Every structure is written in C-alpha cells, then in structure tokens.
Structure 1
Amino acid sequence: MDGTLLNNHMRVPTANIEAIKKAQAQGIEFITATGRGMSHAKISLDEAKIHVPMILLNGAHVVNAQRETIFTIPIGLQKTLAVMDAIEKAGLYYEIFTADHVYSENQSMRIEFVSEHLLSRDPELSKKMAIAASSEHLTLTPIDYVENIRQTLKETGEDVLKIIAFDKNGPERLKKVTIELEEIGDLAIAASELTNIEINHVNAQKGIALKQFAEQRGFTSDEVMAFGDNFNDVSMLTYAGNSYAMGNAALEIKKIAKHVTDTNEENGVATAIEKILSE
C-alpha cells in the first residue's frame, strides 16, 4: 500500500480506484498486500470504498473481503522475547503487532518517526508542519501505548505477528541488529523504509501468502500480477509472473521486477492495470 497503491498523502488516488474497479468488472481479482495491520490498512481502503481480501503484516495475517481471518502465522512467544531483547540492547524504538493491536511503549518516539517518514515523502514540509501532520495522522491510526509490552502480552495472551524496529540514522545500526536477529533463526527480516526493519516468522512473507491465495483459486503464478516498491515486496515480486516495480521503488527492486511503472504520485498502479487490460 505505502509507496505503491497510496499516494504520499496516504490516500488511494481516484485513478487507481477506477482502474481497480474496471479490472474487477472484467473478472480480475484484486488483493492488497501490506506490512500494515488491519486497523491501519482499512483506513485508506474504506475511504476509497475498496473492500477486498488483504494480506496483512507482510503475510502473517490474511483476511477475506469481509475481513474475517483466513489464517495467521505468529512469531512465537520465545522468539518474540528474544527479538525484543536484541532490539532493546541495540537501543532501537520498536512496535509490536498482533491481529487486533499495535503496541508501543513510547508515544513521543512514535510521533518523531512518523514525522520523519512524512518529511521523507514530502521534503517541502517544515519539521514543525511534519510534526503537526504526524499528530493528525496518528489520530487516524490506532495504537495502544502501554507501560510494559511484555506484561501486556502475558495478560492478553495475544500472538505476536510482526515486530518493527526503527533507527532514524539509517541502515548501519539496523544491519548490526539484523545479524543478531538472524542467529535466532526462523525469522523473515525485511524493510519497508531505509530507517526500519520488519520481523516476521520465516513463513510469513507476502510472496508465500500470495502464492497460497492464488493456488486456492486455481491460478498459476503466470496469471498473477504484483506491484511493489520496497524490500518487503521481494518475495511477492519474485513469485508473480507479471511483476511491476513502482517508479519510486528502490533500484534493487526495479532490477528484480519484470517491469517498471510510474511512481505512486503518478498513479503507477492505474497505469499498469490499464496497460494489461488494453492487451
């Protein structure tokens, strides 16, 4: 969704909405695949009146068009605690995702990272404007601030589906902690921005979830088209027979995908859908 289906204002452009509906009218199924959880993903989709199945949390949670859970792939409690220990030792801010909640222990850090994200998307914003916009954005994206995430998980018994860690200084410290996390084993570690890493169970990947979704409906990979812009999209772009990197995608992603479309600000999803329909 982010950097692909959505523009930099976190909305689905009208051109994308119209292209999706046009494809659906011709019998083509559409599914979103995102690192977001349900509570965050549905905001932009509801506004656009797009009600489709969703691959959430990088493939750890899959729901049907009625938003009923099809399956989840949790990290597991012991691995979750080990990941949290490594992230905290590295001094990184992180958030924990379950099927129904996003947990954080630090509201000020959350606002800071969202404002940095908005600044990277729109350099014309001032720092003050970005902080104001992030505060408004956060009112629309539910998050539960708790004193102790470990205690909260113990009390609720919820399965952890994704962990995201941030470092505003970029990849260097993230690379170091990634090496430590890889030693834990059975984890998929990717990034949706240069300033974060996303941790899931090794079987919770967009490509794996998309493959399962397609095969259940009798489709082969050659009948699947996928869009992406960042490293948590690699497994999906590798699987799909017709893969498109966004014009704003990382260079490595453009090398992996079979085609490159326009940027998310230029309605690149619509451009590629219209091209396929015309053929």
Structure 2
Amino acid sequence: MIKLIASDMDGTLLSSHLSISETNKEAVLEAQALGIEFMVATGRAYAEAKPALEEAGIKCAMITGNGAQGFDSDGNETFVISIEKKVAKEVMGTLRENNLYFELMTSKGVYAESQVKRLENFATLLANQIPHLTFKMATAMASAHLNMLPVNYIDSYNELMSDDSIEILKFISFSDHGQELLKPIGEKIEGMGPLYVTSSFPNNIEINHEDAQKGNAVRKVAEELGISLDDVMTIGDNYNDVSMLSIAGVSFAMGNAEEGVKKIAKYETDLNVNDGVGKAILRAISENL
C-alpha cells in the first residue's frame, strides 16, 4: 500500500502553463485525506516551487534543487547538501570557457547575472512546451511568470564564491544546441570532484553535489517516516527524476517523459497537460498498487 508519494513539478505536476490543474489538486488532497504523505521533489528552489502549491492550496514537504535541500510542510529546512566552493569555482570556469549561460541556486536563493538571458531561456522553455505559442507570446508569458519568482541579479558570481555565508547548491546551464553540446561538457564537469550532472529539459544541464539526488532525498524522508521504499510512489518525466524512479516500489513516468525515463519507471501515466499526476495517484489508490 502506498504511504508516501513524491512528485516532480515541471513537466509532471504542473501543466504547460506552470500551474496545478484542479484534477491534480483533488487527487493530491484525496491522497492526503487517506493518510498518504505527499511531497514534491523538484529541481526548483523553494521560493520557485512554493507559489504554485500555495495557489492550489496544497501544503506539503519539499525536496528542492534536485535533492540539495529539504523542507518540511511548514517550510523549515531539514537538510542541505552543497558544492564545495573550490569545486564550484572550477565548474564556473568550465562553463565560462564554453560561453554557456548559467544560474546558481544557493542557500540564500537563486542568482543570475543576466535578466535578459534568464527571460530568453524561460521563453524558449515555454515555446517548446506549448504548441502554437509564438516566441513573442512566450516572452510575454515568461516575463509575467518570472516577475512572480524571486531571483537575485548580481554583477558577478565571484561575489558569491567569496561569501562564506552562502552555500552553492546547484548550477543550471542552458544552450540552444541542447545535449549535443551540453553532454560532453557535463561529463567533463563530473570528473572535477564529487559532482552529479543531470538534466530536466533537453536544453539544460544541472550540476549538484553527487549526494544531492532526488532518490537519496526520497530515501531519507522515507526512512525518517518509517516507510519502506516498497510503499513509496514516485512520479517524473526527465533524467533528474531517474534516481527516485529507480528506488520506489511504485514509479510512474509521464506520457510526455523522455523515452529513457519511461524504460526505468514501472508504470506510465498520461501527459502533464492531461492531468497525468492526478490519474496516476487515483490509479495507485484504486488498484492498491
């Protein structure tokens, strides 16, 4: 019997308009009413993940930054796994050498050096997710959405590297050339230290400490709750979800998931735009998976 559900957000719990549908919301609330723990496991930072959950009226624990940080349902930090500053500087140097735009997730929020680049990358993501959306429309939509998400703009990330009060949790780097360019760079970066490189969309790579993985975080939460992994259900769509899909007794890949991800999950549900998460949760409950 399922006792804990961990769901990814982008491309999974969220629709193409980056909100939680009524069907998904009702399924989550039904699971919680039955005593099933529900949490999100996302690559987003806490402040980026919280608005969509609050809007839907869902109160839950969160795994953020791909497993770099954990929070209980009241928003209290439960753990943090950071990248050593010396290693972070090497990563930053490699990304700059390859002329890649990147952002930093830290213990004090998300930082970006360019507001224009951040907007361009978010608009590209939306344009790829929503059929028939022009780039101009995507840019307007991205601008409105990003205004709701707190981000710190900074002249140079070097300031963060010299600030001992700030921990580096994750790098996220983008390229219009996709994995053809990013994959070999990611492989090089993994050799620089105890690092784990994955992706949440075809146009990015995400760099964490090797212990900061969704699977490790879900296992940690399950152990603290006294729940066997056989009674854990995970739902995701991309490669940064693989570590949690592979450890759970019940795992669902979204209908829009990458093909390699679908091969790892035990079950497949509908698309994120067709309430795939809600359908997976209701199926797990009705079939007692």
Q: TM-score band, normalised by the shorter chain?
A: over 0.9
| Residue in structure 2 matched with residue 177 of structure 1 by the alignment | 185
For 1:271 and 1:248, the matched residues in 2 are separated by 14
| Residue in structure 1 matched with residue 173 of structure 2 by the alignment | 165
Paired AA for residue 2 in structure 1: D
For 2:168 and 2:277, the matched residues in 1 are separated by 31
Contact 1:59 1:209 in 2 (8 A): yes
- Which of 93, 118, 121 pairs up with 2:101? 93
Is the counterpart of residue 215 in structure 1 residue 223 in structure 2? yes
For 2:225 and 2:207, the matched residues in 1 are separated by 28
Per-residue CA deviation, residues 157-177 of structure 1 (Å, 9 max, x unaligned), is: 300001100001211220221
Paired AA for residue 9 in structure 1: H
- Which of 48, 72, 76 pairs up with 2:84? 76
Is the counterpart of residue 67 in structure 1 residue 75 in structure 2? yes
Q: Equivalent residue of 2:57, what SS?
A: coil
Per-residue CA deviation, residues 169-192 of structure 1 (Å, 9 max, x unaligned), is: 211220221122022021010000
Is the counterpart of residue 133 in structure 1 residue 127 in structure 2? no
TM normalised by structure 2 equals 0.95
For 1:176 and 1:28, the matched residues in 2 are separated by 41
- Which of 128, 131, 142 pairs up with 1:123? 131
| Residue in structure 2 matched with residue 192 of structure 1 by the alignment | 200
TM normalised by structure 1 equals 0.98
Q: Equivalent residue of 2:252, what SS?
A: strand
Contact 2:85 2:161 in 1 (8 A): no
| Pairing of 1:1-279 with structure 2 (within 5 A) | 1-155=9-163, 157-279=165-287
- State the 4+ residue runs in structure 1 displaced beyond 6 angstroms: none
Q: Do the aligned partners of residues 182 and 152 (structure 1) sit closer, same or farther apart at CA in structure 2, a change above 3 Å counting? A: closer
Contact 1:146 1:152 in 2 (8 A): no
Q: Equivalent residue of 1:71, what SS?
A: strand
Identity %: 43
Paired AA for residue 44 in structure 2: R
Q: What root-mean-square deviation, in Å, do the aligned CA atoms of Structure 1 and Structure 2 show?
A: 1.0
Per-residue CA deviation, residues 87-127 of structure 1 (Å, 9 max, x unaligned), is: 01011000000133111111111111011001001131111
Contact 1:104 1:145 in 2 (8 A): yes
For 2:69 and 2:238, the matched residues in 1 are separated by 19
Q: Equivalent residue of 1:58, what SS?
A: coil
Q: Equivalent residue of 1:22, what SS?
A: helix
Paired AA for residue 43 in structure 1: P
1:156 Cα deviation from its structure 2 partner:
6.1
For 1:35 and 1:251, the matched residues in 2 are separated by 20
Unmatched segments (≥5 aa) in structure 2: 1-8
For 1:186 and 1:8, the matched residues in 2 are separated by 34
Matched residues, number:
279
Unmatched segments (≥5 aa) in structure 1: none
